[in-house]
Structure 1
Amino acid sequence: MHALIVGNSDGIGLALTHRLLGAGWTVTGVSRRPAPAGVAHTADVASPEFPALLARVLAGVGDVDLCVYAAGIGELLGPGLALAGQTRTFEVNLLGLARTVEAVVPGMVAAGRGHVIGLSSMADAVLSADAPAYAASKAGMTSYLLGLDAALRPRGVAVTAVRFGFVDTKMAKSPVTPFKITTERAVDVLMQCVRTRPAVLSRPRRMAALTGTLGPLLRTAARLRHG
């Protein structure tokens, strides 16, 4: 079995690489920095060169059974309104995913099998004044993945949106991180997804219940505050 992991130089992507290698998978990784495990290729998913590099990687490895998009950033807007960082967040979190899907899915469809997993976030259900592009890009990611699953599953290709809450990685920048889970626990969730291939999975459950309750309230509060 062959997995392509985009964003595997650290955090969840690296931990998943180790877990898959231990389970006998072949892993090809693409990340902005050199990855210490698997067959590694270096590329910035937001760069113009990324699609061409990904095409070369796929041409060299042949069929891919699993593609996991684990690349992601979350830039704070800040008092200086750092909008360039917000734009880059969209480029990495959403456009990088779309370019990866564009490169990987045709081969899976031709083979009649395959699985794409995207690491989204429960932030897709809320509005954020601190990191508006992060929440919006994850909302777009979840919506895109669910739509793709509806389109591709009849052709033998499953697509899964994994909606994490806080995970103990460098991405967890908030001073308050309720129900935070370890990286290893996050990988447990991903391995469950590999086995069961759901359209969407949200973990931890308590955080999912909280965002499901508070999401509409936060959106209403934002409209009242700014409308």
Structure 2
Amino acid sequence: MRQAIVIGNTDGIGLALTRRLLAEGWAVTGLSRREATLEHDRYVHVASDVTAAPYRADLARALTAAGRVDLCVYAAGVGELLDLDDLAAQTRAVEVNLVGAARTVEVVGPHLLAAGAGHLIGLSSLADALISPDAPGYAASKAGMSTYLLSLRPVLARRGVAVSTVRFGYVDTKLARGPVRPLMISVDRAVDVLMRCIDRRPAVVSYPRRMALLIAAAAPAVRLRARLSRS
């Protein structure tokens, strides 16, 4: 039986992915800062906050209990619109989206390397290509996550471990904020994309493709305007 660890899975994409994996016969261990509402004979839940001191130890114990792990998905994520009276919210985005992912790799990486197999997936964002005055903590943290995972991929691949970076645009979850949400996809569609990623183990998945192309074309102009605004 294939075994997965899903971090950040009490709502949104993480929860939907957990349900899909269970439906397809996987055993799943979930870690999230909230208690689980999901009950299944192949599901184990650990309440742990990725920004808290006990997280590494909680994750290590979950790995030991699970035994061989075939898949680890980092789906934890937060993002708040910029409020200059609450810059701590931007810091938290960096702590959860980037530092939490790095802590996960720190613990899960050696476990997968010891087995010489496995697949690590990080849920990043198409925002990783943008300079975002609306949500700077979110954009910066996703840029850092994408760069970190892409840099790790060739090194871990030599030891049998695959690393994939999944860059979504707007997905219909609580993170999809703002009055305009172009080309937004459903959570179920996002899980379809993730299941293909699990099967094929690509370096990067950018979805929707049309939005990825639009952002790729616009990103240099966005950066240029930012530089000019400082001159």
CA separation in 2, counterparts of 1:164 and 1:35? 25
Work out which of the residue numbers 66, 73, 87 in structure 1 matches 2:78: 73
- Give the match's secondary structure for 1:116: strand
TM-score, normalising length from structure 2?
0.96
Instruction: State the Cα distance separating 1:77 from its structure 2 match.
Output: 1.7
Q: Does 1:32 align with 2:36?
A: no
User: In structure 2, what is the equivalent of residue 61 of structure 1?
Assistant: 66
Letter in structure 1 aligned against 2:123: L
Partner of 1:18: 19
Range moving further from structure 2, 204-213 or 54-63: 54-63
Name 1:182's counterpart in structure 2.
Answer: 186
SS at match of 2:170: coil
User: How many angstroms does 1:35 deviate by?
Assistant: 2.1
- After TM superposition, give the deviation of residue 79 of structure 1 in Å: 4.2
Q: Residues of 1 paired with 2:207 and 2:15: CA distance?
A: 19
Separation (CA, whole Å) in 2 of partners of 1:224 and 1:74? 27
1:194, 1:83 → 2: CA distance?
36
TM-score, normalization by structure 1 = 0.97
Q: After superposition, give the CA deviation of every residue in 1:14-70 in whole Å (9 maximum; x if it has no partner).
A: 000000000000000000111223311101101111111111111211121000000
Instruction: Quote the residue 1:43 is aligned against.
Output: 48
Deviations 1:117-140 (A, max 9, x none): 000000000001111111010000
Residues 10, 35 of structure 1: 8 Å contact kept: no
Within the candidate set 196, 199, 206, 2:200 is matched to 196
| Superposition map of 1:99-110 within 5 A | 99-110=103-114
Whether 1:214 aligns to 2:210 is no
Q: Distance in 2 between matches of 1:110 and 1:39?
A: 23
Deviating more after overlay: 90-99 vs 28-37: 28-37
* Deviation for aligned residue 1:226: 2.7
Q: Percent identity?
A: 59
Q: For 2:133 and 2:140, locate their aligned partners in 1 and report how far apart those are by CA, in whole Å.
A: 11
Distance in 2 (CA, whole Å) between partners of 1:43 and 1:130 is 29
Letter in 2 for 1:4: I
The 3-state SS of whatever aligns with 1:180 is: coil
Residue deviations 1:178-224 (CA, integer Å, cap 9, x gap): 11000000000000000000010100001101100111111111111
Q: Secondary structure at the match of 2:172?
A: coil
Deviation track 1:58-98 (CA, whole Å, cap 9, x = no partner) reads 12111210000000000222243x22111111110001001
Give the distance between the partners of 1:130 and 1:64, measured in 2 at CA.
Answer: 38
Question: Residue 14 of structure 1 contacts residue 35 of structure 1 at CA under 8 Å; is this kept in 2?
Answer: no
Partner of 1:89: 93
Q: CA RMSD in A?
A: 0.9
SS at match of 2:158: helix
CA distance, structure 2, for counterparts of residue 70 and residue 175 of structure 1:
24
**Alpha-carbon separation, structure 1, partners of 2:104 and 2:9:** 14
> Counterpart of 1:60 in structure 2: which amino acid?
A
Q: Which moved more, 1:55-64 or 1:150-159?
A: 55-64
Aligned to 1:155, what secondary structure does the other structure show? coil
Q: Provide the C-alpha distance between the structure 1 equivalents of 2:192 and 2:37, rounded to a whole number of angstroms.
A: 21
Aligned pairs, how many? 226
Runs (4+) of structure 1 moved beyond 6 Å? none
